[in-house]
Amino acid sequence: MKALHQPLVKPTSEQHDAELQKLVEFYNETLGFCPNSVKTMYHRPHLAYAFIELNKAAMRNEGKVTSAFKRLIAYVSSYATGCQYCQAHTIRAAERYGASEEQLANVWHFATHPAFSEAERVALEFTIASSSVPNAVDKELGEKMRLHWSEGDIVEILGVIALFGFLNRWNDSMGTAIEDGAVESGEKLLAQKGWTSGKHR
């Protein structure tokens, strides 16, 4: 489908560039396609590769924060900041990494829905507070986090939130053109909650 919106910077499309193809292969495993956000960063390859390393580090699991839950954190953070591009990507990734249908369908009822544990509820409350401007993390919320999560787990959770803070700013400002696969996931999992591709299509 032809994009109706002109992104600030167009993604690169050098098919003969072996280094760019390595990025494409990495994301084909995680999302099923390489995001246009990374292809746009590739105008300055060092930025794209530094981002990939940060992405790998933030999504690495060393405690009890699962891959699926990290993607749900990323989705909630992206929703809180309003980035429709990242919302579609993160809900797609959450599904691909094994989030349950109940959690996918009820993520915005996390405070009361039985699909979420108390630890997950606190983490998602922390996600919204961390993603807000001005920041809304306070002493009480910090104490609740420490009740349920180790310091290492808290670092992993905030690492995901901070990673998507970068991506939310990047993609909303760039008006990154959204890929068909992300649109498919957005329409399947988020449209009933009001999601549209907006300026990204």
Q: What pLDDT is recorded for position 5?
A: 74
Report yes or no on whether pTM surpasses 0.95.
no
Q: What pLDDT is recorded for position 16?
A: 67
Q: Please, are residues 176 and 36 in contact by the beta-carbon 8 Å criterion?
A: yes
User: Within a 10 A sphere around the Cβ of 23, how many other Cβ atoms?
Assistant: 22
Q: What pLDDT is recorded for position 29?
A: 79
Match 């909630």 to its residue by tokens: 76
In angstroms, the CA 88 to CA 183 distance is 7
CATH superfamily of this structure's domain 67-200: AhpD-like (1.20.1290.10)
Q: Per residue of the chain (201 residues), what is the pLDDT tens digit?
A: 444 578 999 998 766 677 777 777 778 878 888 899 999 998 998 998 899 899 999 999 999 999 999 999 999 999 999 999 999 999 999 999 999 999 999 999 999 999 999 999 999 999 999 999 999 999 999 999 999 999 999 999 999 999 999 999 999 999 999 999 999 999 999 998 899 999 998
Match 């050098």 to its residue by tokens: 14
Q: Which residues contact 59 (CB under 8 A, 6 or more apart)?
A: 67, 70, 160, 163
Q: What pLDDT is recorded for position 45?
A: 87
Q: What pLDDT is recorded for position 3?
A: 44
Q: What pLDDT is recorded for position 191?
A: 94
